[in-house]
Amino acid sequence: MAYVRGFTNVIVETDFKVCFAAVQEDISVSNWTLYPILYDIRMLKASFSSLRWAWTTRDANHAADWVASQARRGLCAEAWVIRPPTALVYVLSRDGLPCPPN
């Protein structure tokens, strides 16, 4: 999505330690379900001026879990970047992350 939107400086945060390690260290992964994703990531790396990875614990990732659950139900909108739902603002503030006021 960052590539399609033309972003050049990207920070990817994940709680998936295997994927994080594989991308950080450019190691091969024996998990065949991850291979296509890692291949795409490696091919897209050169498209960005800056690509940083951050690992977070699952406990600290409530905001991402909430957004993922909404996306699975088809409830995400691009307007959320400018005006996130109140529930997301609450989750972000509990995680200690910057967010716009309600």
Q: What integer best gives the mean pLDDT of the chain? A: 75
SS3 98: coil
Categorize the per-residue pLDDT at 102 as very low, low, confident or very high, splitting at 50, 70 and 90: very low
Contact 21, 27 (CB under 8 A): yes
Is the torsion defined by CA of 58, 33, 50, 69 positive or negative?
negative
Specify the residue for token string 């498209």: 47
Q: What is the model's pLDDT at position 9?
A: 92
In the predicted structure, residue 24 carries a pLDDT above the cut 70: yes
Q: pLDDT tens, 34-79?
A: 788 888 888 888 899 998 888 877 776 677 777 777 776 666 666 6
